[in-house]
Chains A and B, each alone.
Chain A
Amino acid sequence: LAKTTQPISMDSYEGQEVNITCSHNNIATNDYITWYQQFPSQGPRFIIQGYKTKVTNEVASLFIPADRKSSTLSLPRVSLSDTAVYYCLVGDRNFNKFYFGSGTKLNVKP
């Protein structure tokens, strides 16, 4: 089971690009990497998912190196509303085993 490690917190300013890295040294061949955003007193919201290389959608990009031991969530041009906790989750596609990271509190300043 891949245990994940994330920075506890990060600060940024509006308009900047933010990169949040998650380490998962013991990731298994069948594991996918998923990132979620959570606001206070709400359930997590899906952001992006990947297996390897790079994935991009309308809100974020996910970079995964060849060894897959880490992944980086990239948020382009953040705004104040992006202030939230971001979690990476590593697990197989059948949800037999999965692990939520401890989360990174992103604070976007004006």
Chain B
Amino acid sequence: GAVVSQHPSWVICKSGTSVKIECRSLDFQATTMFWYRQFPKQSLMLMATSNEGSKATYEQGVEKDKFLINHASLTLSTLTVTSAHPEDSSFYICSAPETGLNIQYFGAGTRLSVL
């Protein structure tokens, strides 16, 4: 299957700082990528849909000014958690569907801990 790389895998930051997470499709182009958040022992919660060359679409209840998404190329989307607070601590996962296939391929996830 297609490979999606996510970086970093783990990040610790101080409250009030911003953190950027990268999601790359390594062997295919992705005009669309998805960002999820997952709390312990819970399912994945879709946060937003990242669209190459246009604005991201956010799910209801997700603050777009808090979670900035940039999809500047066909292989890279970034999620920036701005002014992070302890309640933003979570597991963030990205995915990308390979063009023509109805399958989402997921990154390994990023564990964010805000102190």
Contact = CB atoms under 8 A, between A and B. Distances in A.
Interface centre among B34, B43, B49, B108 (most CB of A within 10 A): B43
Contact of B106 (A41, A44, A103): A44
Interface residues of B, number: 24
B95 A43 contact: yes
Contacts of B94: 43
A36 B105 CA distance: 10
B43 A87 contact: yes
A49 B49 CA distance: 22
A41 B43 contact: no
Interface size, A (range): 10 to 19
Nearest to A44: B106
Query: Of residues A46, A87, A93, A101, which shows the largest number of chain B Cβ atoms within 10 Å of its Cβ?
Result: A46
Contact of A32 (B4, B95, B102): B102
Interface string B53-91: 000000000000000000000000000000000000001
A45 B107 CA distance: 9
Contact of A103 (B4, B43, B46, B91): B43
Given A42-B108, A42-B109, 19 more contacts: A34-B104, A41-B111, A43-B93, A43-B95, A43-B106, A43-B107, A43-B108, A44-B93, A44-B95, A46-B105, A49-B103, A87-B44, A95-B32, A95-B34, A95-B97, A95-B102, A101-B43, A102-B42, A102-B43
